[in-house]
Structure 1
Amino acid sequence: MRHSWWRYTVVGAALLAVTNTVPAQADPGDPFAGAPGLGDPYYPLDGNGGYDAENYDVTLGYDPASHVITGSTRVDAVATQALHTFDLDYSGPQISKVSVNNLPAWFTRTQEHELVVTPMLPLLPGLPFTVQVEYAGEITGTDGEGWILSPSGGAFVAGEPHSASAWYPLNDTPLDKATFALHATVPAEWEVMSNGLKIRDELHGANRTVDWEMRQPVVGYLTTIAIDKFEFLAQQRADGTPLLSAFAPQAEKARAVETRLPEFLDFLETLYGPYPFDTAGGIYVDTDLQFSLETQSRPIYAPWTDLDTVVHELTHQWWGDSMSVKQWSDICLNECFASYTADYLWPERMEGKDVDAQYREAVAKYRDDAKFWQITLQNPGVGNEFTSVYYRGPLFLHALRRTMGDAAFFGAVHDFVDGHRYGNASMPEFRQFMQSRTPTDLTGFFAAWLDHAEPPADEFLYPGSLRS
């Protein structure tokens, strides 16, 4: 994610079809009830226990005139324990029906986004099961936690760390990635963009139906749907990877930077290994959006997007998408690397900039600014995830690079992100891995840069060639 402010700073089960009457919610100590959350220190109710999601199949209709959606989502999962009740994360429109393994199920909604499901028959550990949820209602625009309305009457979904639960039920945690498919129907004059490969785009009378597939596992907030009167840009990488980008009616000016997408991906591969997905592209909206977001394989770009922003979001396809955080306190893995790549590595390698001088100027400007250092990079705190990682993060990584030396640093970061492809990683794991790749003791360096709320001592602030 990249915020717009960055540009201006440093940086009875059968009755369920007709009633919502449900049994009492299960005792949280019940061993046969899936946990309603996974205990993330920042968002303890995110995600759910008792099962692993394997695939989401979302069927959605949207009427731009009324902003009404009609949805039906199938969740394919495997029980990891015996379950007579379990939760999904869902904050969208009213639900009309839930079934489990094609049998009607009881359901209720609690908290902000808990959908509690009680199957007619208990689920056994190790066995697959399917949940189908049907829902419909009017959507309203948000400030980055789900649906956002476009000037044309279209709409798209974007938000981090939460947005997916606004349009389909899921296990909303980075720890449970799954494949994803979308089948969207809109009036014929509208277009639909999403993640992955476009499988079908057909007109049937007054309607258009478009199918998308994300065949590599994806975290919920990295999925999206965007509905607008798009114009398209189709390209292809030298290796044959198809590239498809879309521009909302007032976003055509971004076409020039997006034509460089093959060049950007080639550059990032030299740093972090092969591009991890089947396709790439971008969705350029014309809504007054305060952030751009690295939705998997096809980022959503706000109107203020520039080359720096595109490189930032594309870096996330490695750091954040293919390799995702374990907890939201690990957010530096995502944003520190995306910011360092866009703000330091691209200017250095592609534009010939002196990034050591850039680093020294930033340190000189902000060394005595207490506010600059008051939010730590390791565990910045709930609500502060998207702050210091943008402006302190690049400095931290540049100092680490100069401490380790280029060969060790770039070899290690390449191997770390590539070694966690389609999985998860944490900041403690990153610290341990980087230490394993250099004889230099990094204990004090990491503590000074990541754990403390003040500027590092000179030995850590000006290592290697950064010494004046």
Structure 2
Amino acid sequence: MPSLLRGRLAPLLAVVPLVLALVPALGAPAAAGPDTLFPRLGDASYDARHYDVRLRYDPSTNRLRARTSLRAVAPTRLTSFQLDLVGMRVTSVRVGGAKARWRRSGQQLVVTPRRPVEGRFSVTVAYRGVPRTYRDPDGSREGWVRTGDGAIALGEPVGTMTWIPSDNTPGDKASYTYRITVPTGTTAVANGDLARRATHGRRTTWTWRARDPMATYLAMVAIGRFRGYHSTARSVTGRRIPVWTFADRDHDVPRSVRRTLPRALRFAERLFGPYPFTSTGMVVDDADVGYALETQTRPFYPFAVDTVTLVHEMAHQWFGNSVTVSDWHDLWLAEGFATYTEWLWEARRGGRTPAQQFDSLYAQPASARMWSPAPTEFTDSRDLFGAPVYQRGAMTLQALRERIGDADFFAFLKIWARTYRHGNATTADLVRVAEQVSGQQLDQLFADWLELDGRPAGY
């Protein structure tokens, strides 16, 4: 997510050393657990595996009838468990096909099955009503946002719970199937691949499948009267990647921007390795939320798309979407990498180099907002998308590059993306990878840039 209202490749890039093949696997992705910024969200007692989301939406009334089925695994015996859901009226809950007791407690839907569950189980929730638009502490809007001809659902950091009962924490990723029924003539877009479109009289059901693991905050549905563009992009590996782009009819995407998307994808592949998903594209809609968002496979842009923001959101497909944070306090692992990719893109096109970007930011006075709080040390959710997370996050990567050299740095980028592909990771994981690639002890460098309140000295 680039900050629109709130808060670039050197020739040596081609010299990736043999360390890429020599570094062994560095451990399994981190397990889901309670988030330190939003401790009341999520339930660590089970692991979500697949969401089947069925929506029937009327744009004229903004009313939704829905049924979501979740397949999950519980490693221990559970007499009850919780899903995150705000607003909406729950009409029934079933576990394994049998009616279950349930109650609402704040944003929690607490489910008590007829018999305890252990191992694989399923839960189905039926619900209806007008989905809520969620106002974040920093004033931005997310969740279910109504537009001029429909709605768009955006989830970062917590808004998915306004329309999907879910284990709403970034540490628990799952695959998704969406079946969205809307009036014929209206388009319904979601993550992943368009599997089917079936019209029955006045209603059309759009089926989308997101087969790769996805965090709840990256789930997206856009409903409206869109112009659709379907093409393919050629990967650097030779793979043909489907591209689905949808634009509000009053805010079309220029052909020049649509042609930039495959170039941005290949640029990122040369940096980070093969594109990690089955399709790509974008959604441009008239949702006045003040930010673009890296919704998985198909980022969202409000009103228009500029090249730098497109590059930022494309980078997120590797960092944030494929390699996902386990805890919101590590968001710099997504936003710092995406911002640094902007710097690499600019340099490749003759603009300022990452070193010049670094020097310009480092020259800012000690009182500048980017120096406090440190990227991993904020305690207020209003600081989640602040300048330290984006700018100091990118500066951390440039400081690392200067310490370990270009060859090891660009090898590190690919190894990091490959090791935690489709998983979750922490800052400690990243430090371990960087130290193993470089053979250097780097804990003090990362502490200076990520934990120290104020401008790090000596850089």
TM-score normalised by structure 2 residue count: 0.89
Q: Distance in 2 between matches of 1:255 and 1:118?
A: 53
- Asked if 2 retains the 8 angstrom alpha-carbon contact of 1:289 and 1:303, the reply is no
1:360-419 deviations in Å (ceiling 9; x for gaps):
22222x143343311102233331121111222222211221111111111012101211
- Asked if 2 retains the 8 angstrom alpha-carbon contact of 1:140 and 1:149, the reply is no
Pairing partner for 2:146 from 146, 149, 168: 149
* 1:139, distance to aligned residue in structure 2 (A): 2.7
* 1:54, distance to aligned residue in structure 2 (A): 1.1
Pairing partner for 1:105 from 81, 100, 104: 100
1:394 partnered with 2:389: no
Q: Distance in 1 between matches of 2:406 and 2:6?
A: 27
1:282 partnered with 2:282: yes
SS at 1:5's partner residue?
coil
The 5-angstrom pairing of residues 11-410 of structure 1 reads: 38-111=33-106, 113-123=107-117, 125-126=118-119, 128-143=120-135, 144-152=141-149, 154-238=150-234, 239-303=239-303, 305-342=305-342, 344-351=343-350, 353-364=352-363, 366-383=364-381, 384-387=383-386, 388-410=388-410
TM-score normalised by structure 1 residue count: 0.87
SS at 1:211's partner residue?
strand
Q: Distance in 2 between matches of 1:372 and 1:130?
A: 45
1:173-200 deviations in Å (ceiling 9; x for gaps):
2222111000000000210110000011
* 1:440, distance to aligned residue in structure 2 (A): 4.1
Q: Distance in 1 between matches of 2:443 and 2:215?
A: 32
Q: Cα distance 1:142–1:170, how it changes in 2: closer, same or farther (>3 A)? A: closer
Q: Distance in 2 between matches of 1:443 and 1:354?
A: 26
Q: Distance in 1 between matches of 2:242 and 2:231?
A: 6
Q: Structure 1 stretch 210-219 or stretch 163-172: which is displaced more? A: 163-172
* 1:140, distance to aligned residue in structure 2 (A): 4.3
1:257-311 deviations in Å (ceiling 9; x for gaps):
1332111110100111111110001011122221111111011112253111111
Q: Which amino acid aligns with 1:118?
A: T
SS at 2:416's partner residue?
helix
Q: Which amino acid aligns with 1:377?
A: P
Q: Cα distance 1:180–1:312, how it changes in 2: closer, same or farther (>3 A)? A: same
Q: Distance in 1 between matches of 2:134 and 2:45?
A: 31
Percent of aligned pairs with the same amino acid: 35
Q: Paired residues, what number?
A: 424
SS at 1:281's partner residue?
strand
1:122-171 deviations in Å (ceiling 9; x for gaps):
21x32x2111111111234444331011122x001113111221111111
SS at 1:278's partner residue?
coil
Larger Rg, first or second structure (1 or 2):
1
Gaps of 5+ in 2: 8-31, 136-140
Runs (4+) of structure 1 exceeding 6 A deviation are: none
* 1:88, distance to aligned residue in structure 2 (A): 1.1
Q: Which has the higher contact order (CA 8 A, sep 6+)?
A: 2
- Asked if 2 retains the 8 angstrom alpha-carbon contact of 1:85 and 1:118, the reply is yes
* 1:352, distance to aligned residue in structure 2 (A): 5.1
- Asked if 2 retains the 8 angstrom alpha-carbon contact of 1:146 and 1:166, the reply is yes
* 1:318, distance to aligned residue in structure 2 (A): 0.5
- Asked if 2 retains the 8 angstrom alpha-carbon contact of 1:67 and 1:138, the reply is yes
SS at 1:43's partner residue?
coil
- Asked if 2 retains the 8 angstrom alpha-carbon contact of 1:73 and 1:132, the reply is yes
Gaps of 5+ in 1: 8-36, 462-468
* 1:119, distance to aligned residue in structure 2 (A): 1.0
Question: What is residue 3 of structure 1 aligned with on the other side?
Answer: 3
Q: Distance in 1 between matches of 2:365 and 2:417?
A: 30
1:34-69 deviations in Å (ceiling 9; x for gaps):
xxx943211111211332211100110000111100
SS at 1:375's partner residue?
coil
